[in-house]
């Protein structure tokens, strides 16, 4: 098996992401945040009628997930802290998620995307602490999360993509395998398959979901390494995620109150 992986190695985009400076990583997260904002504006305020905003929005989840996976700590104690923080933020933002999407008829059972990151981080934490038994317990948690994540947070395709990115973070030989990269590519296509009701699925769903994230990562990686440590303060994106849901939720509800 090792010989097969070695023979199929090539330059991996995961290594490209791992080599980014904190400033460059923040640029990618900012682009992902803007893409997510565009997608949510289209869904919540424009009733999904803007195909361009929808297409741009397809790049948000892959970009966020790649950065999340690469930044997972190796130390088991820090992994436990990261998992705890993600669970707390997922729970704290859930009412804001309901507020933002309830006018679209979304069920109150639907969970926000932070639950997917929290569940996958928990799996890795338990696996590091208790081995196979911990990994099995983590998989059980993800299976429980799959259904409530499906309406608005990618469900099983999203979890599979998170797990693949996590595997690339933990096992360098796997991240360099052509077979593995093909699996990642298929998973990215799977994320885009549901479509948004537009006539040209290839243009508005598949191509943006597959091509835009890779183009963005390549372009940002080509930038010179600027000396600035960070573009944003630590944990800024948790606040930005909660803040944009609050703003869009208020804007969505206001017309009803008028």
Average pLDDT, the chain: 86
| Residue 192 falls inside a structural domain | yes
Q: What does the block give as tokens for 92?
A: 């704290």
Q: Report the pLDDT value the prediction gives residue 32, as an integer from 0 to 100.
A: 96
> Taking residues 148-156, what's their average pLDDT?
92
Q: Residue 183 domain-assigned?
A: yes
- The pLDDT-based confidence of 205 (bands split at 50, 70, 90) is confident
**Mean pLDDT score, 210-224:** 88
The structure's pTM equals 0.90
Which range (123-127, 168-172, 238-242) has the least confidence? 168-172
Give domain status of residue 26, yes or no. yes
User: Does residue 52 lie in a domain region?
Assistant: no
Owning domain of residue 222: 14-38+63-247
> Rounded mean pLDDT of 30-48?
93
Is 256 domain-assigned?
no
Residue 49 within a domain: no
Is 6 a member of any domain?
A: no
Give the integer Cα–Cα distance in Å for 40 and 181. Answer: 29
- Secondary structure letter of residue 14 according to DSSP: H
Q: Is residue 253 part of a domain?
A: no
What is the average per-residue pLDDT within 103-124? 92
Query: Is pLDDT above 50 for 108?
Result: yes
Domain count of the chain? 1
Question: Alpha-carbon torsion 56, 242, 25, 15, what sign?
Answer: negative
- Comparing CA positions, the residue from 161, 212, 221 lying closest to residue 34 is 212
């Amino acid at each position: 098996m090792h010989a097969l992986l070695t023979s199929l190695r090539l330059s991996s985009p995961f290594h490209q992401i791992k080599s980014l400076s904190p400033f460059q990583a923040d640029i990618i997260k900012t682009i992902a945040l803007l893409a997510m904002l565009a997608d949510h504006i289209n869904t919540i305020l424009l009733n999904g009628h803007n195909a361009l905003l929808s297409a741009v929005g397809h790049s948000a989840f892959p970009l966020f997930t790649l950065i999340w996976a690469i930044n997972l700590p190796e130390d088991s104690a820090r992994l436990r802290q990261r998992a705890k923080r993600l669970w707390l933020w997922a729970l704290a933002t859930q009412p804001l998620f309901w507020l933002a999407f309830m006018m679209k008829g979304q069920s109150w059972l639907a969970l926000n995307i932070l639950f997917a990151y929290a569940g996958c981080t928990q799996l890795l934490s338990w696996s590091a602490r208790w081995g196979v038994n911990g990994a099995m317990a983590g998989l059980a948690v993800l299976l429980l999360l799959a259904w409530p994540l499906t309406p608005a947070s990618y469900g099983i395709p999203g979890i599979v993509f998170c797990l693949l990115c996590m595997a690339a973070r933990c096992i360098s030989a796997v991240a360099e395998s052509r077979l593995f990269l093909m699996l990642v590519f298929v998973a990215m296509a799977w994320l885009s398959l549901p479509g948004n009701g537009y006539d040209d699925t290839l243009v508005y769903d598949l191509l943006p979901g597959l091509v835009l994230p890779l183009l963005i990562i390549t372009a940002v990686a080509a930038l010179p390494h600027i000396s600035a440590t960070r573009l944003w303060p630590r944990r800024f994106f948790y606040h930005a995620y909660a803040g944009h849901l609050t703003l869009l939720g208020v804007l969505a509800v206001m017309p009803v109150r008028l």
